[in-house]
């Protein structure tokens, strides 16, 4: 069995607990989890689930990234991805500077097309290519939107800000992702598009979901529904409303409200019957398949791993499902299989996720925790698992 590093989520939880001058028992009393589980996570005997980490972060009043160790700077530097973050940060700061007379820009129609191309690139998990092209595209589109304002240009700029959010979240730069969401709201307001504003509220809700602030997350979902209600009833508005229900389902699952989970999934299913597979709408991947994926995710969040595994077996991915969503499913499935003792299958699905989306998988905290858990429980570590552990920096 390979020796794992001593720096992991459990050790960071222990360090932050001690800084807060709390005993294990005192911290466990603040959590919806047992003292035994806290002890096992801290010593590395059990991997930390996203829900567990969020609960600890909330109890200690710190950011989740303090516990997960994101961004994983060493790996990012090795992959030459860290150097792509600063230009994105600088491009987000151009939003209120108006037109730039010294900037050479492409025609407006090409810039609008590039906004969709960058979204597609992220969904295909080509993070490096998207991160490299994004800053100049934002600069050009910011200039053009100020010089010749139009709804289409503001919408395209909002889309680019959303792409900045997606990239920075996947790389673990959550402070920057929050800035990108603020810029997205700024552009959406100028486009006067309630559906895009609702998408932004959905994405904000997921930020609070990740941080364990479920009440605020639910309020943001409700705000998103209020915005969608201002739009005409179209396939776009139906898909956005359905995706809001899917977001609410996992938030309620984290909060332990099983009845609310079922209500939101039922609502989402009814919208999906009307839209069909709607991956083309705001790149939300909404549709019957995504409803099934969220049903599995909700079961995972509630610790119902046997149920989640049954749901995973029912999932049928349409050809239109983005690679990023497929990889996320494979990582979730691997975690479920590990929790139910199917360690061989868990490793198979992690390897499949790596082949499909290497950059996304390497920087996904759930993948890293599952790999750590597999290494810890393995009596004899397969070469494939040893390689995977080294690959993610464990």
Q: How far apart, in whole angstroms, are the C-alpha atoms of residue 363 and residue 250?
A: 21
* Count: domains in the chain: 2
Name residues whose C-beta falls within 8 Å of residue 189's C-beta, 6 or more positions apart in sequence. 197
CATH number at residue 10: 1.10.260.40
For residue 57, tell me if it sits in a domain. yes
Task: Out of 34, 53, 69, pick the residue that ends a domain.
Answer: 69
* 103 in any annotated domain: no
Instruction: Indicate whether 186 belongs to any domain.
Output: no
- Domain finish residue from 46, 69, 92: 69
Q: Which are the contacts of 266, defined by CB distance < 8 A and separation ≥ 6?
A: none
CB 223 within 8 A of CB 248: no
Residue 62 placed within a domain: yes
373: in domain: yes
Q: Tell me whether residue 337 is in a domain.
A: yes
91/279 Cα distance (integer angstroms): 28
**What mean pLDDT do residues 316-341 have?**
93
pTM for the whole structure:
0.89
| Angular region, 285: left φ>0, alpha ψ -120 to 50, beta rest | left
In this prediction, residue 72 has a pLDDT band, given cuts at 50, 70 and 90, of confident
Domain range for 1 is 1-69
CB-based contacts of 235: which residues, under 8 Å, 6+ apart?
A: 274, 275, 278, 281
Residue-wise pLDDT for 87-127, tens only, equals 999 999 999 999 998 999 999 999 999 999 999 999 999 99
pLDDT value at 2 more than 60: no
In the chain, the percentage of residues whose pLDDT exceeds 70 is 98
Does residue 3 lie in a domain region?
Answer: yes
**Final residue of a structural domain among 52, 69, 86:** 69
pLDDT digits (tens, 9 = 90+) for 29-43: 999 999 999 999 998
Angstrom CA distances, 278 to 235, 272, 321, stand at 8, 8, 9
With beta carbons less than 8 A apart as the criterion, state whether 349 and 54 touch: no
**For 247-258, what is the mean pLDDT?**
95
Q: Is the pLDDT of residue 1 over 50?
A: no
* pLDDT at residue 263, as a whole number: 97
Indicate whether 378 pLDDT > 80.
no
Question: Can you give the pLDDT at residue 381?
Answer: 72
Instruction: Look at residue 213 and tell me if it is in a domain.
Output: no
Q: Give which of 376, 280, 361, 294 is closest to 328, Cα–Cα.
A: 361
- Long-range contacts for 124-129 (Cβ within 8 Å, ≥24 apart)? 124/322, 124/323, 124/324, 125/323, 125/324, 125/327, 125/356, 125/357, 125/358, 125/359, 125/360, 127/81, 127/167, 127/170, 127/171, 127/359, 127/360, 128/79, 128/80, 128/81, 128/84, 128/359
Burial status of residue 117 (CB atoms within 10 A of its CB: 0-12, 13-18, 19 or more): middle
C-alpha–C-alpha distance, residues 106 and 92, integer Å: 19
Which tokens go with 247? 């977001």
CA distance linking residue 291 with residue 343, whole number of Å? 26
366 vs 260: CA distance, rounded Å = 25
């Amino acid at each position: 069995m390979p020796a794992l590093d001593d720096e992991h989520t459990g050790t960071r939880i222990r360090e932050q607990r001690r800084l807060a001058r709390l005993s294990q028992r005192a911290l466990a009393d603040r959590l919806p989890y047992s003292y035994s589980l806290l002890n096992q996570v801290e010593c590395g005997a059990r991997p930390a689930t996203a829900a567990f980490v969020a609960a600890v972060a909330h109890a200690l009043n710190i950011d989740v990234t303090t516990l997960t160790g994101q961004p994983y700077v060493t790996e990012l530097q090795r992959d030459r991805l860290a150097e792509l973050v600063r230009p994105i940060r600088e491009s987000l700061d151009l939003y209120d500077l108006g037109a730039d007379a010294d900037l050479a820009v492409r025609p407006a129609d090409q810039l609008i097309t590039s906004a969709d191309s960058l979204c597609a690139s992220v969904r295909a998990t080509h993070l490096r290519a998207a991160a490299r092209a994004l800053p100049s595209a934002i600069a050009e589109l910011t200039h053009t939107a100020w010089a010749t304002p139009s709804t289409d240009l503001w919408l395209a700029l909002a889309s680019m800000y959303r792409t900045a959010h997606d990239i920075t979240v996947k790389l673990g730069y959550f402070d920057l992702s929050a800035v990108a969401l603020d810029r997205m709201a700024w552009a959406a307001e100028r486009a006067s598009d309630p559906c895009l504003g609702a998408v932004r509220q959905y994405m904000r809700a997921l930020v609070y979901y990740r941080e364990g602030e479920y009440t605020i997350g639910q309020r943001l979902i409700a705000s998103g529904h209020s915005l969608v209600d201002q739009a005409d009833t179209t396939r776009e508005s139906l898909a956005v409303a359905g995706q809001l229900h899917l977001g609410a389902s996992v938030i309620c699952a984290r909060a332990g409200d099983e009845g609310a989970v079922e209500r939101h999934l039922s609502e989402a299913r009814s919208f999906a019957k009307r839209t069909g597979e709607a991956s083309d709408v705001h790149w939300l991947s909404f549709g019957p398949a995504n409803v099934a994926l969220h049903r599995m995710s909700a079961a995972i969040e509630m610790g119902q791993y046997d149920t989640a595994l049954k749901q995973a077996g029912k999932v049928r991915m349409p050809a239109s499902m983005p690679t990023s969503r497929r990889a996320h499913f494979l990582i979730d499935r691997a975690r479920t299989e590990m929790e139910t003792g199917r360690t061989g299958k868990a490793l198979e699905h992690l390897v499949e996720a790596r082949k499909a989306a290497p950059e996304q998988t390497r920087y996904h905290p759930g993948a890293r925790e599952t790999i750590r858990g597999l290494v810890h429980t393995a009596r004899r570590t397969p070469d494939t698992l040893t390689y995977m552990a080294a690959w993610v920096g464990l």
